[in-house]
Structure 1
Amino acid sequence: MSGTTRTSADLDVRRRRTLFRAWHRGMREMDLIMGRFADAEIGTMSEEDLDEFERLIEVPDRDLLSWITGEAATPENYDSPVFRRLKGFHSHTSPIHV
């Protein structure tokens, strides 16, 4: 079951694939964090932002979750504007308290 509330009908193939991957990570908490962010942002991301978001999707769930929650420091090479938007989005909109 996907949790997406966004239709992908208006998205190009790359954005559809990225939206699907954001909602199908493995850990339900990360599905919700990444998926909700993708629902809100995927349609307006620049190509560079999309590159960075796809790179974040490749990070193992536990690592990414620990960076988002502040349990571990975010490595400098991942502390990008897209990551900071994701982290801020989660802290302001998500009822998930991990």
Structure 2
Amino acid sequence: MDEQMGKLRWRCRRGMKELDLLTLGYLEQYYPDAAAEDQQAFADLLELQDPLLMSYMVGRETPADAVTARVVGIMRTLVKYSA
């Protein structure tokens, strides 16, 4: 699992700091205990281009697949808004 986590951690490095924080946050907080289908959905999300992934994170678009939508929903809870 450590090698897989290392590969995923590398893939979490995006072109946008906000996406780095969301993807790494999910990987560290939720991925290890997630169901296998959620883990696969997360890995699939990491294959997307940054603009589409960001669209999911800000709610402009919603994944058609229910499992992917659930993972995106969890990732969106990691967004920290400051006043």
- Between stretches 44-53 and 24-33, larger displacement belongs to 44-53
SS of 1:25 mapped into structure 2: coil
**CA–CA separation in structure 2 for the residues paired with 1:41 and 1:75:** 19
TM-score w.r.t. the length of structure 2 is 0.75
- Displacement over 4 Å in runs of 4+: none
Q: Is 2:51 the partner of 1:62?
A: yes
RMSD: 2.2
Higher RCO (CA < 8 A, seq sep 6+): 2
Q: Is the 8 A contact 1:18 1:54 kept in 2?
A: yes
Q: In the alignment, is the contact (CA less than 8 A) between 1:27 and 1:61 conserved in 2?
A: yes
Equivalenced residue count is 82
3-state SS in 2 of match to 1:93 = coil
Which residue of structure 1 lines up, in the alignment, with residue 71 of structure 2? 85
Gaps of 5+ in 1: 1-10
Whether 1:49 aligns to 2:38 is yes
Q: Deviations over 1:51-95 (max 9, x none)?
A: 211110001111111122122x3241xx332432333442x3321
Identity of aligned pairs, percent? 26
Q: Which has the larger radius of gyration?
A: 1
Aligned pair in 2 of structure 1 residues 80, 16: CA closer, same or farther (>3 Å)? farther
